Amino acid sequence: MLRNNLSGALGLDWPTHPLCSRRYDQTALKVVERALDKDRSRGLVWHTQGSGKTFTMIKAAELLFKAQDAEKPTILLMIDRNELEDQMLKNLAAVGMANVAHANTMAELLRLLRQDYRGIVVSMIHKFRDMPANVNERKNIFVLIDEAHRTTGGDLGTFLMAGLRDRP
């Protein structure tokens, strides 16, 4: 099912263009399959230190953006530390990702969401603090959060959930 869905979106002939067997590529495919499942609205990928979390997020964002079923989405890559934000931006540039915006301030994040930006947005989770409710209710906004366990359980998670539509 996943190969059929993604083959059209990516324009690949699966029998002659096999998937790369790197762990983060395989995990990213699972993330995309889960994200495009209309019956689910949340998921969790458990990684250990040094296992390729950043590359998994980048690959998942790339595949989601290219997937036809995602209908030109917005993908929020949420980070919780300055070092991780810098690392994410450098890695996105290194792999040549297009359609990347850096929400460096709370105002910039709010502007991108209100103006219905389609592409990848890199921001820090704390920029959702005091985010107004229902900033963008489009169904195809995907949020990938690095180190989510540290930040989404409290107020920041509440603002994040209030600002974006939660799929049924």
Which residue segments constitute the domains of the chain, with CATH numbers given? Answer: 2-163 (3.40.50.10810)
Looking at residue 27, its pLDDT comes to 73
pLDDT in single tens digits along all 168 residues of the chain: 555 555 555 544 444 444 444 566 777 777 778 778 888 766 666 555 666 677 888 888 998 899 989 899 999 998 877 778 888 899 888 888 888 999 999 999 999 999 999 999 999 888 877 788 888 888 888 888 876 555 555 555 655 665 666 544
Q: For position 122, what pLDDT does the model report? A: 94
DSSP code per residue over 105-147: SHHHHHHHHHTT--EEEEEEGGGGTTPPTTSB--S-EEEEETT
**167 membership: H or E segment, kind and range:** none
> Max Cα separation, the chain?
49
The CA distances from residue 101 to 3, 26, 58, 75, in Å, are: 29, 26, 13, 10
Angle at 6 between CA 139 and CA 100, to 5 degrees: 60
